[in-house]
Amino acid sequence: MSAETAEHDDHHDHGPAKGWLRWVVTTNHKDIGTLYLIFALAMFFVGGTMALIIRTELFEPGMQFVDPQFFNSMTTMHALVMVFGAVMPAFVGLANWQIPMMIGAPDMALPRMNNMSFWMLVAGVLLLASTLFMEGGAPASGWTLYPPLVLQTGNALPFAIFSVHLLGISSIMGAINIIATIFNMRAPAMSLMKMPLFVWTWLITAFLLIAIMPVFAGAVTMLLTDRFFDTSFFDAAGGGDPVLYQHIFWFFGHPEVYVMILPTFGVASTIIPVFARKPLFGYSSMVYATAAIAFLSFIVWAHHMFTVGMPMAGELYFMYATMLIAIPTGVKIFNWTATMWKGSMTFEAPMLFSIAFVVLFTLGGFTGLMMALAPVDFQYHDTYFIVAHFHYTLVPASVFILMAAGYFWLPKWTGNMYDEKLAKLHFWLSAISVNILFFPQHFLGLAGMPRRIPDYAIQFADWNMISSIGAFIYGPSQLIFVYIVYKTIKGGTGEKVTDEVWEGAKEQSLEWTLPSPAPYHTFSTPPKEVPTMSTSR
Amino acid sequence: MIKTKQLFAALTLMILGLSSAHADYTLNLMQGVTELSNDVYDLHMWVLWICIFIGIAVFGTMFYSIYYHRKSVGHKAEQFHESTTVEIIWTIIPTVILIAMAIPATKLMLEMDDIQDSEMSIKVTGWQWKWEYEYLDNGIHFFSTLDEASNKARQKDSGIDPRSVPHYLLNVDKPLVVPVNTKIRFLFTAADVIHSWWVPDLGWKKDTIPGFINEAWTNVEKAGTYRGQCTELCGKDHGFMPIVVIAMEKEDYAEWVAEQKGVALAEASAADKEWTADELIAKGETVYANNCASCHMADGAGMAGTFPAITASALVTGDINAQIDLMMNGKGMMPAFGQMLNAVDFAAVSTFIRNGLGNEVGDSIQPSAIKAKQSAQTENDEDDK
């Protein structure tokens, strides 16, 4: 034991390994965080390109650019890449960078598994992307992979299924690592109710992931055996039940969308108090609301299936349960508003993105509430109304908050300040274009345009064109972010930032007590005290 | 900042310009033409107004705060950070609002489910990519497919302006005809994959699922033509299987029913008559264009890797029975056409692809032979059940 410790101490001050191999074999939480974030950003552009192909075809009525089968592959792959390749990995990247620094730990609890879960993610996404080049094309049945349609997929089907398995294993390993880190490696002074809210939301998200990924893996495995081993889980002709798949899928799928939104809440709750120069309002109610949302996410799945013909009792139960989600979500929005109330606000890029998140996510919440009402959902279901709804809860919510997080923590990670002017340009372009892109889709849905169609009737032409124009502005605007990040890494504005970067941030969370840039190894010994301004005291 | 403003101004002008060009900016849900659809609309408006009201309150507070509680106007931050009282208040108020929504929603839900006392029944079956309608009370039975004009215009690089096609993508060859002021029960199922039957003016949609029978009802109050579409992704031509419902006054409907019986008789006798190969090929060309060309292409070349070519295909130039088996039963993405085409159309297109599109096999098959195979297939299906 003592020999081991001595040996370890000899190497204590080593920095990163030299050369490119550093990035392959690294077990450092900051390096792995960087890998995750860069990979997610790359996939954001891959998925975004697919979205632009979709919006280009939908710019005008008539088929101009792609054939319908490829169009369906694009909607399917856009969703899968954005969910599993961009948004989820980006939040895992943030967790890797931030959780150890926020709880006063030297690294993640399971560093080697950390490395493995990243590379499995890359393998999974590459396997998925490879289906684009296979005979019969990439999966084209929507990201929900509903049978019997998905069973008509060509050679791509088993590859897509194994890709889901790999992504699932990667997510589960990541989640185990986060739970182990949070439970075992907090600074002694940090009780659970003194953890920053970002850590809390990730802890809850990690439990969601462990609960749901095996369910999805099971569902797609049943697809695999239905297609190749003559089982009939979902085949009515063999005594199976196509609706069973939907129940299993959405038991995974509904918590899955909360996997993307809960850490979003966590980042917003971290950023807003800093720029309001106030404690977060209602810390403990925020924690309980997050837990309540997570619990409810498991008992509302069939609101995605109001039109499949459930018994009346089922329809009513899922309607009531879904409406309940509005309560804890409302509490969160009220708490953020109360945090801003009587603050001393400034509006740097992270705050701008966070405020836009609160407003636009609330709009997505309103449409969510409308769709919770089953009899009205019979009109909204599977139209552009739902497309508008979930994009409002994902793009100006999760993606905006990821951008906010980037601007918020980049100075801590690199020691350099980003270009605030460019960042504001990025914000205004994004905030305006995202609404031009998605707001008209509400009108399209209400007017009767179904989702996932490559061509449409003439009365939908005008709003579709406006929506596409929004997409053509929103997409390229995101390149500004890449440029800003690159410039910041290379030295930024030249201004060296202080340790706390943002005025008063030291009172809010531990990472701001570290030097900027944060050294390769931090908190080799845990801090004695933890800031409690925005936690319970 | 100036640039942002310029950009915004440019966009606004662009949008205004578009609206003057061809204004069709529907904003809200349609009220529809049934009692149910009106109730749905009212509930929609009720919830929408509640949301707008909450939005004004929350965003109003937020923007007041953003304007007055800024550092740049010298506002000092207060340090309050929790209040159990307000947390309880903003938990209870939303709960009350939710109850105010749930009560009318529950009532409407029960009303929509009340299928009793329906006066007639129509069975709707979803196919890739058309609808089959069976009037269970009088035996009328037909398939409804995207109309020819839309079908031509929607092909990639067709050169036809969709705006020149009346009811582009929302028109069919044979619409569903129903009487007004009659409670009609619909039964929904599917033959291949899941589809969903939606006519917005009726106020609901229902999934059609293989192996399941779903129910819904309507009572159209106003004569007219109502259009809708499939709303569950069902493969390549999901966007091209519209629904047209014509609601007629009861007398007109009775006339239509009588007419349809004549059509059915004519079809049956056509299947029994002896056809020449040339007649079959000529008819088959149209059937091919409407049913096959969207995947196998108008010239039969198919699409490499996804849809096999018809021209010089080993199957099509080989044994005619093997070809017909595959067409009847489908395979992978190829739908089963056995029940989808009538005997004449089936025989015609089978003969056409063997003797057109660059193939010259020289044989043909009679509608009567197809008819025999079709009834054998139906019997087998029933045995399986």
Condensed to tens digits (0 to 9), the pLDDT of residues B252-294 reads 999 999 999 888 888 878 888 888 888 888 888 888 888 888 7
The pLDDT > 90 percentage for chain A reads 92
- What pLDDT, in 10s, does the model give residues A249-287? 999 999 999 999 999 999 999 999 999 999 999 999 999
Residues A171 and B306: their CA atoms lie apart, in Å, by 33
Q: Is the CB of residue B136 less than 8 Å away from at least one CB of chain A?
A: no
Can you name the residues that pair with B122 across neighbouring β-strands?
B135, B186
- For A342, the closest of B25, B69, B305 (CB atoms) is B69
Residues B181 and A292: their CA atoms lie apart, in Å, by 48
Type of residue found at B72:
S
In a domain, A20, yes or no: no
| Residues 310 through 369 of chain B touching chain A, CB cutoff 8 Å | 332-333
In a domain, A537, yes or no: no
pLDDT over threshold 50, residue A136: yes
How close A179 comes to chain B (CA, Å)? 28
In a domain, A527, yes or no: no
What is the pTM for the complete model shown? 0.90
Scan for tokens 């993405």, then name that residue.
Answer: B333
| Main-chain phi, psi angles of A289, to 5 degrees | -65, -40
In a domain, A531, yes or no: no
- For A466, the closest of B18, B28, B39 (CB atoms) is B18
Residues A454 and A97: their CA atoms lie apart, in Å, by 41
pLDDT over threshold 50, residue B1: no
B225 contacts: CB under 8 Å, gap ≥ 6: B175, B244, B245, B246, B247
Q: What is the CATH number of domain B273-384?
A: 1.10.760.10
Can you name the residues that pair with B226 across neighbouring β-strands?
B245
Catalytic hit among A329, A414, A534, A535: A329
A534 is catalytic: no
Q: Which of B24, B68, B111, B238 to mutate to test the interface with A (most CBs of A within 10 A)?
A: B238
pLDDT over threshold 80, residue B6: no
A456/B239 touch (CB, cutoff 8 Å), yes or no: yes
- What pLDDT, in 10s, does the model give residues A163-196? 999 999 999 999 999 999 999 999 999 999 999 9
In a domain, A5, yes or no: no
Q: Is the CB of residue B105 less than 8 Å away from at least one CB of chain A?
A: yes
pLDDT over threshold 50, residue A325: yes
Report how many domains make up chain A: 1
- Is the distance from CB of B359 to CB of B316 less than 8 angstroms? yes
- Which one, of B328, B362, B358, lies nearest residue B343 by Cα? B328
B231/A381 touch (CB, cutoff 8 Å), yes or no: yes
Rg (CA), chain A: 23
| Domain range for A260 | 30-513
- CA dist list (Å): A10 to A4, A5, A13, A229, A251: 10, 9, 8, 56, 50
A143 is catalytic: yes
Residues A124 and A110: their CA atoms lie apart, in Å, by 21
Can you name the residues that pair with B224 across neighbouring β-strands?
B247
Which tokens belong to A174?
Answer: 């990541």
In a domain, A129, yes or no: yes
Out of 2.60.40.420, 3.40.50.880, 1.10.760.10, 3.40.50.620, the CATH code matching B120-268 is: 2.60.40.420
Which tokens belong to B257?
Answer: 């029913």
CATH of the domain at A213: 1.20.210.10
Chain A CB contacts of B192 under 8 Å are: 148
DSSP annotation of A192 reads G
Query: Domain locations in chain B?
Result: 29-70+81-114, 120-268, 273-384
Which tokens belong to A45?
Answer: 């552009």
Q: Please give the mean pLDDT across all residues of chain B.
A: 88
- What pLDDT, in 10s, does the model give residues B308-356? 888 888 888 888 888 888 888 888 778 888 888 888 888 888 898 888 8
In a domain, A428, yes or no: yes
B24/A359 touch (CB, cutoff 8 Å), yes or no: no
pLDDT for the residue A105: 95
Catalytic hit among A78, A165, A278, A412: A78
Count CB pairs under 8 A between chains A and B.
Answer: 324
Catalytic hit among A36, A97, A250, A258: A258
- Is the distance from CB of A303 to CB of A319 less than 8 angstroms? yes
A388 contacts: CB under 8 Å, gap ≥ 6: A367, A438, A439, A441, A442, A444, A445
B109/A342 touch (CB, cutoff 8 Å), yes or no: no
Topology (CATH level 3) of domain B29-70+81-114: Helix Hairpins (1.10.287)
- Which one, of B136, B142, B140, lies nearest residue B120 by Cα? B136
DSSP annotation of A395 reads I
Chain B CB contacts of A56 under 8 Å are: none
A355/B81 touch (CB, cutoff 8 Å), yes or no: no
Tell me how crowded residue A529 is: count the other CB atoms within 10 A of its CB.
11
The pLDDT > 90 percentage for chain B reads 53
pLDDT over threshold 60, residue B182: yes
Tell me how crowded residue B72 is: count the other CB atoms within 10 A of its CB.
9
pLDDT for the residue A5: 44
Residues A362 and A340: their CA atoms lie apart, in Å, by 16
pLDDT over threshold 70, residue A248: yes
Residues A308 and B1: their CA atoms lie apart, in Å, by 50
Q: Is the CB of residue B308 less than 8 Å away from at least one CB of chain A?
A: no
A221 contacts: CB under 8 Å, gap ≥ 6: A161, A165
B366 contacts: CB under 8 Å, gap ≥ 6: B274, B275, B347
In a domain, A255, yes or no: yes
ipTM value for the complex: 0.91
DSSP annotation of A141 reads S
| Main-chain phi, psi angles of A287, to 5 degrees | -65, -45
Please state the length of chain B.
Answer: 385
